[in-house]
Structure 1
Amino acid sequence: MIFPAHCKMVGAADTRPLGKKIYFLSRYLVRQTEAGPEVLEVTPADGPGPMMRGVAEERILAGPGDVAICAEPVNLHNRADLIRRAAASNKRCTIFYGRDEHMTFVLDPDPDVLVPVHVYDIVPPRPHLSETVRELEATGIFGELEVEFVHHLHDIRTTGADIYPCRAAGFSRTLDADRPGDGDLVAGCLTARQLLAECYQGDFSVANICPLDAVREEPFVARCCRSERTGSTTWNGYAGIVVHWGASPREIYEAIGGMVARWRVAR
């Protein structure tokens, strides 16, 4: 697979006002022909020199018959999205244009280069970790990591509990507002067990809803309300990272970025 590291490496060669000279950062050119666009790999002339340089080497990577053009502008930094789109195009090469008219391409797309990162969260209420990852992914901020996210959401309503953790999810009985009664099934985690033991006497059972305890794939990122568990970890034998219940978007991004870097080195 050839996928330029940045769109600044890809130049347009529809017009050549300076003849065969190219911008010194260009490593690839998209050139229109009568049959359609073609993609070339170019090497600028060596040594220090002007902004526009001669071409030392040039070769065609994909001719018009092998090239597709994405019909809509895309986020050029969302590399996982572009790899998947290119793989679905049925062409060896797909050219993409950004909303700012910059462009890039993917040649011989290989979705297997994407590291699957497993995201563990619960719902309701809003699955903060999962939704934040989706929002960040849409910005393209994970682009250079070349990852794809697999979301594992546990709907805690399936526990059939009598009492749930908090009012934010709209449940009629919650541990932060109501006293549990004997025989109640409480949807909760280690923190709920601790609260029950410290504050109430009774015969309670707890349905475990902790996202971290649901981990069954690696590498993973999971949300947990226990601050002592946050950070890089191996849980249930699986490698990953734990972020706090109310982690900020920046904290989530940095946690995933560091975890993926360690994962790639280890593999």
Structure 2
Amino acid sequence: MSHEEHNTQAEINIKNDVEKHGWTVCLFEADTATPSFAYTIGLWKNFNHPELIAFGLPLDTMHAVLNDAGDIIKAGNPLETAVDNFEILERHPVQFRPVDADNIPDYFGYAQWFYNYEAFPALQLFWTDKSGKFPWEPEFDESYQLDQPRLDQKLDFKFFEPRNVATFVARQIFKEGKPILRVYHDDDDGSWQFLSEDDVTSEDAMIVCLEEVVKRDPSVNQLFNMPTGQMATREFVGAKWVRDAIDEIGQQDES
């Protein structure tokens, strides 16, 4: 989530909370592209401790557990990594693991602003499934797999949809090597469409799994958090994506 989406009042609240309490917790509701998540701001500044982030739990739960973790840190007890912790989530173990630096910009927008876009470390809180398994364990319940991304590793695929989900791709992209310049995330069925600069018809459409599209052009990973009902365009590969609401009439004219 980029800082362009933030607002001045939120920035004021963050500064006030960090000054008063030592840290604050930013909460983000789930939408059609990403699960709910929450992260701290201020732990690195005031306690020389990595910031924290959690995914996929109710917002009030994440708010509470991150504040509880903050209290532990404030008391002079840094969180251990890669070990079961039973102090944070009642009756259930959690583990904290370092967030790969490449994943920081994808989620810590307000924190990046707070730290003037200078590097800072973070830990991700991981919770278990009903059988007590963590996401990296073979027996982990796959129905929870998309609720908490593995930010502790470099991600070649950032979308929360399954890798094999079907997408509609203009034939020219795979058959003629044309660049992906327009992307639609449909509101009706949640499907993705990847188009080039050419006008296309239904006869130009290919069905390709999302993973193959990302392999073809890894820069589409930047759209992993684009909700349904939005589109993104760019002038060339490497240019900044510009997002907007889908113009339904315009999209229908192209299909």
Output the TM-score relative to the length of structure 2.
Answer: 0.27
Higher-Rg member (1/2): 1
**Larger relative contact order (CA 8 Å, sep ≥ 6):** 2
Larger strand percent: 1
TM-score normalised by L of structure 1: 0.26
